[in-house]
Amino acid sequence: MAKVIFGMTMSLDGFVNDRNGSVEKLYPDLDALRKSAILQELIENTGAVVMGRNAFAMSEDPDWFAGNYEFQVPIFVLTHHPPKKMPKQTDQLTFTFVTDGIESAIRQAKAAAKAKDVTVIGGASTIRQCLQAQVGDELEVGIMPVLFGSGLRLFENIGTEEIQLEKIRVDEIPDGGTNLRFRVAR
Amino acid sequence: MAKVIFGMTMSLDGFVNDRNGSVEKLYPDLDALRKSAILQELIENTGAVVMGRNAFAMSEDPDWFAGNYEFQVPIFVLTHHPPKKMPKQTDQLTFTFVTDGIESAIRQAKAAAKAKDVTVIGGASTIRQCLQAQVGDELEVGIMPVLFGSGLRLFENIGTEEIQLEKIRVDEIPDGGTNLRFRVAR
């Protein structure tokens, strides 16, 4: 059964971008990150991706994903406004724009992933929705060695209940980062 | 030359206590923590302690420290209102109540620690003061496997500048916690 892996990389003080909206200091060397064992393993285990509208919009050219994005798998984009023109697709990478919420996106992604995992790529709002809707099995948080002081917080307004986690692994990631993976208690 | 080690244990979402003010889930097994290799090492390297007024007040009986506290060293308590009655002291553990700020407390603690390190014990306000006054050399943050959702944030209003860190070690701590130690860039 496919697991749902969700999470993001943040500064030690919990921000997913700095006061100017930049994520540069969280990913100072994207090439090293893309070649890292942990990302390769994640890519190998991922059968489908759910991403928020903002993560999708990070690429200025929506046709860039096909052939270039780390994950060449079916991608389910959470959005209220699907683009008028469908981005380029391939046999491996397809796009589905999901307008009826995170549960629906996860359900469709699980079906597409078959025995593999579903990986949820942020932004922060998408990660929060996973927590609120309790659709995530494993939370993966990368912690980078910087204090931003302000910016966009990952864990803000995540709900009114405490959520117990169980740490299942710790990995070093490039540029002094530390990746923590937790199972989410239900 | 003595280093200044400062930091605290927090939930993954950055809170040093939960919405009820409780720290219980951050330290579910104090005995295991006290016996842990990492705390033993910290104790061994610590020549003096700086603590905030709230950390000092965590013990209902101020006479408890002498003979019982993990750190049997000179203790410098940051406060605006020194207690009228001096708590019990020993040859190893002495109290100095410092009313003229964090820089003064650190300076006095360094002199007392001689070649050993100064360890700063929270609360959050004391840790923030260390960041703001740039008196800390190494930041140690324990991350526990729980999302509190609300409570008292460790990293809030820590200043207007980004602070670059350099990760120097990662240690497992009891109850699924992870201890991250960083050198603070100046």
Task: Select from A12, A154, A162 the Cβ nearest to the Cβ of B146.
Answer: A162
Q: What is the pLDDT of residue B91?
A: 97
Reported as a pLDDT band with limits 50, 70 and 90, residue A2 is confident
Report the residue of A139, A154, A162, A181 to disrupt the B interface, i.e. the one with the largest count of B CBs within 10 Å: A162
List the domain range (segments joined by +) for residue B177.
4-18+41-184
Q: What is the pLDDT of residue A163?
A: 96
Q: What is the pLDDT of residue B50?
A: 98
Confirm whether A70 is domain-assigned: yes
DSSP, res A23: -
Annotate A145-170 with DSSP letters as a single string: SEE-SSSEESSSS--SS-EEEEEEEE
Using the predicted structure, report yes or no on whether residue B1 has a pLDDT greater than 70. Answer: no
Confirm whether A5 is domain-assigned: no
Task: Select from B18, B166, B176 the Cβ nearest to the Cβ of A162.
Answer: B18
Using the predicted structure, report yes or no on whether residue B186 has a pLDDT greater than 80. Answer: no
Is the Cβ pair B149, A159 closer than 8 Å? yes
Which residue type, as a one-letter code, is found at position A37? A
Confirm whether A166 is domain-assigned: no
Confirm whether A9 is domain-assigned: no
Which residue type, as a one-letter code, is found at position A28? P
Share of chain B above pLDDT 70, in %: 99
**ipTM exceeding cut-off 0.85 for this assembly:** yes
Q: What is the CA radius of gyration of chain A?
A: 16
Confirm whether B56 is domain-assigned: yes
Report the residue of B11, B12, B131 to disrupt the A interface, i.e. the one with the largest count of A CBs within 10 Å: B12
CATH of the domain at A113: 3.40.430.10
> Is the Cβ–Cβ distance between B124 and B97 less than 8 Å?
no
> Is the Cβ–Cβ distance between B138 and A146 less than 8 Å?
no
Using the predicted structure, report yes or no on whether residue A1 has a pLDDT greater than 70. Answer: no
Q: What is the pLDDT of residue A178?
A: 98
Chain A nearest C-alpha distance from B34 (Å): 21
Confirm whether A19 is domain-assigned: yes
For residue A157, count other CB atoms closer than 10 A to its CB.
11
Average pLDDT over residues B4-13: 98
Measured distance CA(B16)–CA(B21) in Å, rounded: 9
Q: Which of A14-23, B41-50, B101-110, B157-166 has the weakest average pLDDT?
A: B157-166
Report the residue of B22, B140, B156, B163 to disrupt the A interface, i.e. the one with the largest count of A CBs within 10 Å: B163
Count of domains observed in chain A: 1
Which residue, among B110, B127, B155, has the nearest Cα to B11 in the 3D structure?
B155
Confirm whether A76 is domain-assigned: yes
Average pLDDT over residues A14-27: 95
Taking only the tens place, the pLDDT of each residue in B46-59 is 999 999 998 999 88
Find residue B75's DSSP bridge partners: B49, B95
Average pLDDT over residues B133-149: 97
Is the Cβ pair B166, A145 closer than 8 Å? yes
Q: What is the pLDDT of residue B95?
A: 98
Q: What is the pLDDT of residue A122?
A: 87
Q: What is the pLDDT of residue B159?
A: 80
Is the Cβ pair A164, B178 closer than 8 Å? no
Residues of B in contact with A177 (CB under 8 A): 167
Average pLDDT over residues B67-95: 96
Taking only the tens place, the pLDDT of each residue in A80-137 is 999 999 999 999 999 999 999 999 999 999 999 999 999 999 899 999 999 999 999 9
Average pLDDT over residues B19-36: 92
CA atoms within 13 A on the CB side of A53: 13
Task: Select from A149, A158, A172 the Cβ nearest to the Cβ of B160.
Answer: A149
Residues of B in contact with A25 (CB under 8 A): 162
Confirm whether B170 is domain-assigned: yes
Taking only the tens place, the pLDDT of each residue in A25-84 is 999 998 999 899 999 999 999 999 999 998 999 889 999 999 999 999 999 999 999 999
Is the Cβ pair A131, B145 closer than 8 Å? no
**The model's pTM:** 0.95
Q: What is the pLDDT of residue B106?
A: 98
Q: What is the pLDDT of residue A168?
A: 97
**pLDDT greater at residue B1 or residue A129:** A129
Residues of B in contact with A141 (CB under 8 A): 12
Measured distance CA(B169)–CA(B141) in Å, rounded: 11
Q: What is the pLDDT of residue B182?
A: 98
Residues of A in contact with B24 (CB under 8 A): none
